[in-house]
């Protein structure tokens, strides 16, 4: 099956950290032209240099997705360089407080993660959609999370942000559909990586008095496939939803979680 993504112009937010790197590299492997948007330009440039060496056209852009002006400037920079925007992949996000109950979560902590995970996606979508509507073509992939599908104790603020993102995705899919624009959400479960190892696992170790390996095994046992997802698993799902192979799919939440959300 050919995804036919060559020469598509893709904006990827959060392209140089966590699963964002794998997603960026996956689109690069499909020969997309990539606009890399994030707050840490040094980190982005490090990834961009590697992609340029492989002949990929990249445009690093400093962008705080929580700032409307930054996202408008991002869309303008992409169009100035490449003439259009075909794909938006919203990866930028955070975890919020880990292990805190709803009543232990401060208003500031709650608002900060809502602003990053939900308002940030709203801002970038709002910036790129007018051009997509005008051209009658676009693919938007929001990276949500399965905690926004089932909820999770100790992760209320994060769950709220990702649950809200599902609503934004579905409503926008209905609105944008008549303009030949697909809007979908990839919902990762636990994804092995730096954030998983430094935030999630230590909390489980502390709560249950277990080793790192035991903590990982404890999580994996909740999944039908008995394994933790890799960042490449998420990247492949994003490629699928950004391609015309999935042209008749819109407004969906696609769990990539080894079967946790289904159980």
Q: Kindly name the residue from 110, 122, 137, 158 that is annotated as catalytic.
A: 158
**Residue 100 to residue 202: CA distance in whole angstroms:** 14
User: Catalytic site residue 158?
Assistant: yes
Each residue of 65-87: b (16+ CB within 10 Å) or e?
bbbeebbbbbbebbeeebebbbb
| Active-site amino acid positions | 158
């Amino acid at each position: 099956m050919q995804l036919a993504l060559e020469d598509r112009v893709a904006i990827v937010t959060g392209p140089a950290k966590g699963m964002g790197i794998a997603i960026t590299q996956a689109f690069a492997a499909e020969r997309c032209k990539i606009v890399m948007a994030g707050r840490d330009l040094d980190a982005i440039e490090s990834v961009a240099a590697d992609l340029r060496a492989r002949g990929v056209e990249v445009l690093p852009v400093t962008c705080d997705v929580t700032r409307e002006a930054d996202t408008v400037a991002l869309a303008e920079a992409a169009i100035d360089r490449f003439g259009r925007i075909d794909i938006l992949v919203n990866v930028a996000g955070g975890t919020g407080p880990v292990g805190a109950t709803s009543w232990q979560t401060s208003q500031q902590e709650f608002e900060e993660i809502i602003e990053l995970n939900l308002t940030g996606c709203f801002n970038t979508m709002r910036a790129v959609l007018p051009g997509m509507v005008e051209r009658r073509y676009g693919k938007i992939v929001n990276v949500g999370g399965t905690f926004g599908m089932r909820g999770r104790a100790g992760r209320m603020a994060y769950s709220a942000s990702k649950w809200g993102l599902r609503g934004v995705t579905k409503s926008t899919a209905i609105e944008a559909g008549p303009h030949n624009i697909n809007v979908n959400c990839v919902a990762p479960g636990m994804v092995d990586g730096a954030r998983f190892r430094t935030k999630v696992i230590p909390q489980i170790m502390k709560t249950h008095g277990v080793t790192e390996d035991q903590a990982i095994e404890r999580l994996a046992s909740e999944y039908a496939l008995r394994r933790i997802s890799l960042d490449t698993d998420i990247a492949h799902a994003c490629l699928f939803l950004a391609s015309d192979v999935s042209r008749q799919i819109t407004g969906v939440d696609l769990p990539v979680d080894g079967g946790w959300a289904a159980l």
